[in-house]
Amino acid sequence: MRTIILNTFREALAKKIFIGYYIFYGIVVLVMLFIVNTDSAEGIAALGDKKTIVTNVESFFQTLSFNLILFFSLISASSFIPSMVEKGNIDLLLSKPVSRFNILISKFLGAVTFAGTSMVFLIGSIWLILSLKSGYWSVNFLSSILSLTVAFGVMFSITLLFGLLTQSSIVSILINFFMIFVLCPVLSHREAWIFTFVKNSAVQFIFNVIYYIFPKPGEIGDLSIALTAGEPINSGLTAVGPENALLLGNWMSLITSVLFCAVIIGYSAYYFSKKDY
């Protein structure tokens, strides 16, 4: 398994994915460095509470970029599975004394580890810049490394499945784009966007079921923002009343997303074990 995980990094380096990752994230870090060193930023920092300002900047960064970073990571890793099942590559892998399940899980873990290391670089660099500049070390912001990595793993399971089914990276990119920017946001805001017009209880029930089945990258982003801000988090086990209606985070969204990931990986492993290459 360790060899396959390392091979994922070698593949990323050979295809210049690794370099592209860090060039893009390096530009983001440089932009942040430029922003915090402007005169206006100096003035704002001098007028307000450092903790509040830093927390607001970090939360704003997450709100603005969580889904974009997630999607960019998925685009970068979209070729890992199709290239694995290419003729020659798959023959070599299957000739090894490793089960197909271990091959697939190792590839998945390799992609998640690859994405996680880039999150450490990006989030860690921004955290270091803001902390050194302000003197306030907001350790909570580092939790977004884990949030982004988990969200990547959940959505990469879709890449894993459709990479096996279609052997096409384009298909998985399009499906992830649709999920992250269209379907999941619509389901998350179904009460405001759909139930306002659709009053049939049976149809509403169907939408609710679909919502709980599908992954929730947006809510994982909200959870990350809540953790960064140190806000209380709704368990998701009880109805949200007026007293906690503003709670962003929801642990149940994370749990159901991880369960979705486990089911998709399980089916992918079953399909991979039966496929004749």
Say what the pLDDT of residue 235 is: 59
Quickly state the pLDDT bin for 169 (edges 50, 70, 90). very high
206, 207, 213, 218: CA torsion to nearest 10:
180
How sure is the predictor about 190, in pLDDT bands with cuts at 50, 70 and 90?
A: very high
Give me the percent of the chain exceeding a pLDDT of 70: 91
- pLDDT (0 to 100) of residue 268: 97
* Averaged confidence pLDDT in the chain: 87
For the segment 76-90, the average pLDDT, to the nearest whole number, is 92
Per-residue pLDDT at 236: 54
Burial degree of 261 (CB within 10 A; 0-12, 13-18, 19+): buried
Q: What is the pLDDT of residue 120?
A: 95
Q: Where does the pLDDT of residue 45 fall: very low under 50, low under 70, confident under 90, or very high at 90 and above?
A: low
Show the tokens assigned to 48: 């307000």
- Per-residue pLDDT, averaged over 107-116, amounts to 94
Q: Residue range 183-196: average pLDDT?
A: 92
pLDDT value at 70 more than 50:
yes
The pLDDT, as a whole number, for residue 41 is 52
Cα radius of gyration (the chain): 21
C-alpha 149/C-alpha 7 separation (Å) is 19
Residue-wise pLDDT tens digits, 85-94: 998 889 989 9
Cα–Cα distance list, 74 to 42, 94, 111, 207, 236 (Å):
36, 26, 9, 26, 27
| Predicted TM-score of the model (pTM) | 0.90
- State how far the Cα of 4 lies from the Cα of 102, in Å rounded to an integer: 9
Q: At 248, is the pLDDT very low, low, confident or very high (cuts 50, 70, 90)?
A: very low
Q: Which of these, 144, 153, 139, lies nearest to 226 by C-alpha position?
A: 144
pLDDT given at position 239: 41
Sorted by sequence, the CB contacts under 8 Å of residue 273 that are 6+ apart come out as 100, 101
pLDDT tens across 213-224, in order? 999 999 999 999
Contact (CB, 8 A) for 198 and 111: no
List the one residue out of 208, 213, 174, 215 whose CA is nearest residue 189: 208
φ/ψ (deg, to 5) at 275: -70, 135
